[in-house]
Amino acid sequence: MREQQIGHVVISSTVDRPWSQYFCCMLAGNREFVRTNPVATKRALRAILKAADFCTSEPEQSAQFLVEQGYTKRYDHALQVIKAIPYGWREYSAEDTLRFYALRLREVGMLKSTPQKLLAQGTDWRFFNELKHELKT
């Protein structure tokens, strides 16, 4: 679509408020898997966070990797997308992000639980908080 110049941007969650003030993506894990495989869980999360840091620090090399691995054919498009995505996982609050999206989902009837209950019963920030300290630059 980008190549054929089809369509136009109506809203961009990377720059338009309030969406731009929160993570665009979150990770979720099966509770039982995380409980029984904490080392694997932490390793996977570490790899994803380090990849995000790499995309921020080396966007050209990241785009080239995507082309070499066959994920896309166009280096220029890959680079444009990588540069447009905010990879600043250190700047946002995961808890605030979950609360924000939980409120939106509750407003449209897709979530019955309150954001407070969801945060209390469905989140565990241990690995993320440990890695934030471990991966400080």
Ordered by start, the domain boundaries in the chain are 28-92, 93-130
Q: Tell me the two tokens of residue 15.
A: 């720059």
For residue 6, the model assigns a pLDDT of: 87
User: Residue 87's CB: how many other CB atoms inside 10 A?
Assistant: 19
Contacts of the segment 25-32: beta carbons below 8 A, 24+ positions apart: 26/94, 26/97, 26/98, 26/101
Q: What is the structure's pLDDT at 85?
A: 87
DSSP state of 16: S
Alpha helices in 29-91 (DSSP H): 31-36, 38-57, 59-68, 75-84
CB neighbourhood size of 20 (10 A): 14
Is a pLDDT exceeding 80 seen at residue 1?
A: no
Q: Specify the pTM.
A: 0.81
Question: Quick check: 115 pLDDT over 90?
Answer: yes
Q: What is the mean pLDDT of residues 15-36?
A: 89
User: Hey, is 101 helix, strand or coil?
Assistant: helix
Q: Cα(101)–Cα(117) distance, rounded to whole angstroms?
A: 14
Look at residue 54 and tell me whether its pLDDT is greater than 90. yes
CA angle (29, 83, 50) in 5-degree steps = 40
Distance between CA atoms of residues 127 and 104, nearest Å: 26
Q: Percent of the chain having pLDDT more than 70?
A: 99
Residue 2 has pLDDT above 80, yes or no: no
Q: pLDDT tens-digit profile of 58-99? A: 999 999 999 999 999 999 999 999 998 888 788 888 899 999
Look at residue 82 and give its three-state secondary structure. Answer: helix
Token look-up 């080396």 returns 58
